[in-house]
Amino acid sequence: MPTNRRWGYASALALTLVAAIPLTAGGCAEEEAPEGAGVNGQPATDLDGDEALPGSADEHGATEPGAARPEQAADVDGDDLQAGVSVDPSAAATPAARACGTRTPTRAEAAHTEKRLDETRTLASAAPPAIITIPVAWHVINKGPGTGNGNVTEQMITDQMDVLNEAYAGDTGGAATKFRFELLSVQRVTNADWFNMGSGSLEEIEAKEALRVGGPETLNIYTANLLGGLLGWATFPDWYEDYPLDDGVVLLHSSLPGGSASPYNLGDTATHEVGHWLHLYHTFQDGCDKYNDYVKDTPQEGSPDFDCTESRDTCSAAGMDPIHNFMDYSDDDCLSEFTPGQAERMLTSWQTYRR
């Protein structure tokens, strides 16, 4: 299964694909998942998760490269294909519920990743590394002055950095990871086209090609008005080698602390997306499956929790659903922790792919 997700894919197919196979991939969105649908409200078509074709969704609702999200599939004439979206931008301001479109790896991809991580674990068993401070290059994509136009304030960015540092230090509960974050730069760009950004859109590609800085160790965060009800999306570390310009995290500007996207305005969309950027999967990724999220100390979870449902237990395996885990789907004020296993996985992946 090729891992091509944007570069080349979008440019090669942009003018030929129609709405059934839009350009999106890897969107970590927060949108309402219709009951009975896949994780992202998508139909389950690929039962083993490793044979999905572009434009299909696996049983976990994860978008494959070029896969359609429901709101994009509605664009049957494809006339908005250049923009990669077909929705009214104003309608995407405040998502109704959290759902994430960060592309779930296929079983084959995940198996390859696990092999690489296990090799690192074998090599890196000596001295535990010190704290790793990740430089953050922030790109504020806006359409004019004022927070309503996406021109988030310095205070919002500072507060977001604090939320990240507290979460990854374990200050809100759960495990302390090795990661801290330091703001390297803030770049403000006024571009009305880029501002209304769809996942996998040409606007995203153009913006990242123009703005991204640093190597695999630099966390590039882009804030914009994300279409289709998305709160954000991220790339995984093992994608960097093939698609370095794609690497980074995209956030809905109003999801920052103090933003208007309540109840997703306490900054934990960034915590979640950075978790993906550091190689965490959703806690419900493979459902009640032995692989689940490839982290042993996160109990299996059959489906995302949207409502902070205490004592929720969707799988017969031991452990209640990890509803407070940053990689689940509830409101920001419900999410508070990573597990030691997640902290270890992020560190191992860093040592494998990002240092």
Q: Can you give the binding site for Zn ion, defined by CB under 5 A?
A: 28, 100, 102
Q: Which residues pair with 180 in a beta bridge?
A: 133
Nearest Cα to 301, choosing from 322, 275, 326?
Answer: 322
User: What is the nearest approach in angstroms of Zn ion to the Cβ of residue 323?
Assistant: 15
Q: Which is nearer to Zn ion, 28 or 87 (CB)?
A: 28
Q: Is the CB of 31 or the CB of 75 nearer to Zn ion?
A: 31
Nearer to Zn ion, 56 or 199 (CB): 199
- The answer to whether the beta carbons of residues 231 and 255 sit under 8 Å apart is yes
208 near 245, Cβ under 8 Å?
yes
Cross-strand pairs, 136: 183, 219
Task: Indicate which residue of 273, 310, 337, 344 is catalytic.
Answer: 273
Structure tokens at 143: 């359409």
Shortest CB 244 distance to Zn ion, Å: 21
**Residues facing 241 on adjacent strands:** none
Helices and strands per DSSP (H, E), number in the chain: 8, 6
Instruction: Give the list of residues 6+ apart from residue 244 with CB closer than 8 angstroms, or none.
Output: 212, 215, 216
Minimum distance from residue 26 beta carbon to Zn ion (Å): 10
Confirm if 63 and 232 have CB atoms less than 8 A apart. no
C-alpha span between 93 and 151 (Å, rounded) = 14
Q: Is 273 annotated as catalytic?
A: yes
Supply the minimum distance, in Å, between the C-beta of residue 234 and Zn ion. Answer: 7
- Residue whose C-beta lies closest to Zn ion: 100
Q: What is the closest distance, in whole angstroms, from the C-beta atom of residue 276 to Zn ion in the complex?
A: 5
The whole-angstrom separation of Cα 250 and Cα 63 is 17
Nearer CB in complex with Zn ion: 19/25: 25
Give the pairing type, strands 179-190 and 196-197.
unpaired
DSSP, res 14: T
Give the catalytic positions in this structure: 273
